[in-house]
Amino acid sequence: MTQVAAPDSLLAEGLARIAEEIDGAFDALLAVPDDARARLVEAMRYAAIGGGKRLRPLLLASVAEMYGVQREAAIRAGIAIESIHVYSLIHDDLPCMDDDAVRHGKPTLHLAFDEATAVLAGDSLHAFAFEVLSDPATSADPFTRIELVRTLGHASGAQGMAGGQMMDLVAETSEFDLQTVTRLQQLKTGALLGAAVEMGAILGRIPPEGRTHLRGYARDIGLAFQIADDLIDHEGDAAVAGKAVGKDAAAGKETFVSLLGPDRAREQARMLVEQAVGHLAQHGREADLLRAVARYIIERDH
Amino acid sequence: MTQVAAPDSLLAEGLARIAEEIDGAFDALLAVPDDARARLVEAMRYAAIGGGKRLRPLLLASVAEMYGVQREAAIRAGIAIESIHVYSLIHDDLPCMDDDAVRHGKPTLHLAFDEATAVLAGDSLHAFAFEVLSDPATSADPFTRIELVRTLGHASGAQGMAGGQMMDLVAETSEFDLQTVTRLQQLKTGALLGAAVEMGAILGRIPPEGRTHLRGYARDIGLAFQIADDLIDHEGDAAVAGKAVGKDAAAGKETFVSLLGPDRAREQARMLVEQAVGHLAQHGREADLLRAVARYIIERDH
């Protein structure tokens, strides 16, 4: 069975620590140039610094720590995956996509700057992710670096996150069943959460056959995360969420909540989290932070 | 001095061959999935297949061939750099950017599909570039692959192409001098053309110190290319160019042509091409295609 639950303080410390480290690394790596590109880097910084739960870097760094990886390498890989996440939010918020006005409690990038700058800042963060990963500072071993690139490239493209976003667009005009909604979410959110866990294991030089339980963990928390997101959208408070809520129903999209009802959806998320924790049974206290993250995923309100 | 000029047939064959190979590789690699992501991959194919001069893959493959690289590796790396080029055109054509209706003689992607799909298809081609490069099919050597990723990531991000695009946006409301326009173009177009040449040398396992002359060649043809583009925009025929012309003057942007006048601009481009060819003096007939490409750059009408 599962180990002793991690105390809340472990999670609180983990969240505070990763937030500070990721903000610090973005600040150091995204220096504003003294020419007409200044506005572009300012826009990248506006979107990348000081917002978000940093869940993907936290997952990545927690797995990496379990395997004794140097913290600096984990933070650099965390910057890369967070850059992909942030660019996807910037593009997702555009008027031609979700047309959102608020993100992380402040105006979305295309409102704070302009649409063209938002497109370019997203594209630049996208390239930045691969620049950071391919730099020897992330790992002296080229094989480790190229595996990180390969994992993140696959998870973010048409066969991963972007493919899920496309299904999400189609969902507005189609009647998706539970199986299709599950597939959509496994791509849209699950692929990148899975990549976070996978990248931590790659830094730890764990061979693919040693990552099976971590993949199971990532798959389960990925779905639980999305169900929790659907519940926040269904019943949440926009001020607490830091973004608009009630959007799925307004757009006529099927979600886990619309298909299962809120009670069964909540029960399903709880079950998935327990299953995720179960995948970590071979680990001792060193996996406590991963266990705490799994539980946090359905307890958060934003 | 320069070698014997390459015959026109060498260039014509080179252009036809690379066009067929790149189209074939995109066709094989971008298989349409049997689910709601089909529309995304259809959009990627619409933008990627059957259009463009394939100048970047041609440069990359020409350098690679000079160093005896297997053709398949060069084509895969060519697919990656062309994917970056195509994604940048898709995003550049969006209503919030240049708002263009025609590209390669057909409706731009956001008109043929829709804006949201165009944003996602661009993002997906962006990720696809790094997926292709990081795959062992491109090179069995992880160091070669990670150097390709690093070069392309740097050339396409805020310190390369995207940075140049940002300067281009700023140019609409600023008075840029010749030095700033040169810097803008070195980033916007030159960075990716330079990466094409560099990636060919990386595949050929030429160490950085052995690439100096190739970098000189790339820098010169990059500027010549942009001057030629400015001349096409200034005096070209939209039907021949396959895109709108006269846009820079309408947008009030300074270009090489507005700053130098068409005659001096044409003379400058000619000089740059001769200088580019001069950088290849250490090579024999094996560099004839690169010499022909340099001359083609200022003779083309689209």
CB A77 within 8 A of CB B99: no
So what's the pLDDT on residue B227? 93
Matching residue, tokens 């260039």: B11
The CATH number for B8-299, chosen from 3.30.420.10, 1.10.600.10, 1.10.10.10, 2.60.260.20, is 1.10.600.10
pLDDT surpasses 60 at A6: no
Taking residues A13-19, report their average pLDDT: 96
Residues of chain B above pLDDT 90, percent: 80
Q: Would you say B274 and B5 are in contact if contact means Cβ atoms under 8 Å apart?
A: no
User: What's the average model confidence in pLDDT over A106-131?
Assistant: 97
Is the CB of B133 less than 8 angstroms away from the CB of A149?
A: yes
Query: Do B146 and A134 count as a contact with CB atoms less than 8 A apart?
Result: yes
Q: What is the pLDDT of residue B7?
A: 56
Tokens standing for residue A255: 């979600």
Chain B CB contacts of A165 under 8 Å are 120
Q: CA of A283 to nearest chain B CA: how many angstroms apart?
A: 31
Give the separation between CA B160 and CA A133, rounded to whole angstroms.
17
Query: Rounded to whole angstroms, how far apart are CA atoms A159 and B142?
Result: 23
pLDDT of residue B193: 97
- pLDDT of amino acid A233: 86
Q: What is the pLDDT of residues B24-68, one digit of tens each?
A: 999 999 999 998 899 999 999 999 999 899 999 999 999 999 999
pLDDT band, very low/low/confident/very high, at A19 (cuts 50, 70, 90): very high
Mean predicted confidence (pLDDT) in A154-159:
96
pLDDT category at B209 given cuts 50, 70, 90 is very high
Sole residue written with tokens 């999670």: A11
DSSP string, A22-45: HHHHHHHH-PPPSSTTHHHHHHHH
Choice among A229-243, B6-20, B26-40, B162-176 with the minimum mean pLDDT: A229-243
CA distance B125 to A167: 17
As beta bridge partners, residue B102 has B107
pLDDT confidence of residue A4: 46
User: Distance (Å, rounded) from C-alpha A1 to C-alpha B33?
Assistant: 40
Summarize the confidence of residues A130-144 as an average pLDDT.
97
Mean pLDDT of A285-293: 96
The ipTM of this complex is 0.94
Q: Taking residues A266-271, report their average pLDDT.
A: 95
Of A124, A156, A183, the CB nearest to B157: A124
| pLDDT higher than 50, residue A109 | yes
Distance, in Å, from the CA atom of B252 to the CA atom of B97, rounded to the nearest integer, reads: 15
* Interchain CB distance below 8 Å, B165 and A131: no
Strand partners, A102: A107
Helix (H, G, I), strand (E, B) or coil at A261: coil
The DSSP secondary structure of B230-297, one letter per residue, reads HHHHHH--HHHHTS--SHHHHHT---HHHHH-HHHHHHHHHHHHHHHHHTTTT--GGGHHHHHHHHHH
For the record, the structure tokens of B255 come out as 């270009």
DSSP strands (E only) in chain A: 102-103, 106-107
Beta bridge partners of A40: none
pLDDT at A194 over 90: yes
Task: Return the pLDDT at A252.
Answer: 78
Question: What local confidence, expressed as pLDDT, does residue B4 receive?
Answer: 46
Judge whether residue B2 has pLDDT over 50.
no
Q: Identify the pLDDT of residue A14.
A: 95
Q: Return mean pLDDT, chain A.
A: 93
- Residue B102: phi and psi, rounded to 5, are -130, 135
User: CA–CA separation, A157 vs A151, rounded Å?
Assistant: 10
pLDDT above 70 as % of chain B: 97
- What pLDDT is recorded for position A272? 96
Q: A234: number of CA atoms within 13 Å, CB side?
A: 19
- pLDDT at residue B178 above 70? yes
> What does the pLDDT read at residue A124?
98
Q: Does A208 touch chain B (CB under 8 A)?
A: no
Q: Which helix (H) or strand (E) holds A118?
A: helix A115-134
DSSP letter assigned to residue A300: -
Q: Cβ of B141: how many Cβ atoms within 10 Å?
A: 15
Query: In this structure, are residues B44 and B128 in contact, taking their beta carbons and an 8 Å threshold?
Result: yes
Whether the per-residue pLDDT at A276 is higher than 70: the answer is yes
Give the closest residue to B133 by CA, choosing from A136, A214, A109, A145.
Answer: A145
User: Which of A160-169, B133-142, B171-180, B259-268 is predicted least confidently?
Assistant: B171-180
How far apart, in whole angstroms, are the C-alpha atoms of residue B14 and residue A180? 46
B301 or A15, greater pLDDT? A15
CB-nearest partner of B158 from A44, A163, A169 = A44
Q: Span A192-201, mean pLDDT?
A: 98
Give the 3-state secondary structure of residue A107: strand
- The angle, 0 to 180 degrees and rounded to 10, between the axes of the packed helices B115-134 and A142-156 is 160
Residue A2 pLDDT: 41
Task: Tell me what pLDDT residue B250 has.
Answer: 77
A6 contacts A90 by C-beta, under 8 angstroms: no
Task: Nearest by CB to B120, from A36, A149, A162: name it.
Answer: A162
Is B36's CB within 8 Å of A174's CB?
A: yes
Report the DSSP beta bridge partners of residue A106. A103
Q: Which residue of B has its CA nearest to A95?
A: B116
Q: Which helix (H) or strand (E) holds A10?
A: helix A8-29
Q: How far apart are CA B98 and CA B171, in angstroms?
A: 13
Could you give the count of Cα atoms lying within 13 Å of A269 in the half-sphere of its Cβ? 26
* Distance separating alpha carbons of residues A219 and A211, to the nearest angstrom: 12
Which of A18-22, B7-11, B201-205 bottoms out in mean pLDDT, i.e. has the lowest? B7-11
Per-residue pLDDT, averaged over A261-273, amounts to 95
As a whole number of angstroms, the distance between CA A161 and CA A167 comes to 10
| Mean pLDDT across B123-127 | 98
Q: Say what the pLDDT of residue A242 is.
A: 76
Is A178 buried (19+), middle (13-18) or exposed (0-12) by CB count in 10 A?
Answer: exposed
Query: Tens digits of per-residue pLDDT, B210-265?
Result: 999 999 999 999 999 999 988 988 887 777 777 777 777 777 788 889 899 999 99
Mutate to test the interface with A, among B108, B110, B124 (most CBs of A within 10 A): B124
Q: Name which of A85, A5, A69 is nearest A274 in CA terms.
A: A5
Tokens of A185: 């979410």
Q: How confident is the model at residue A5 (pLDDT cuts 50, 70, 90)?
A: very low
> CA triplet A157, A161, A164: central angle to 5 degrees?
115
Contacts of A166 in chain B (CB under 8 A): 36-37, 39-40, 117, 120
Strands A106-107 and A102-103: antiparallel
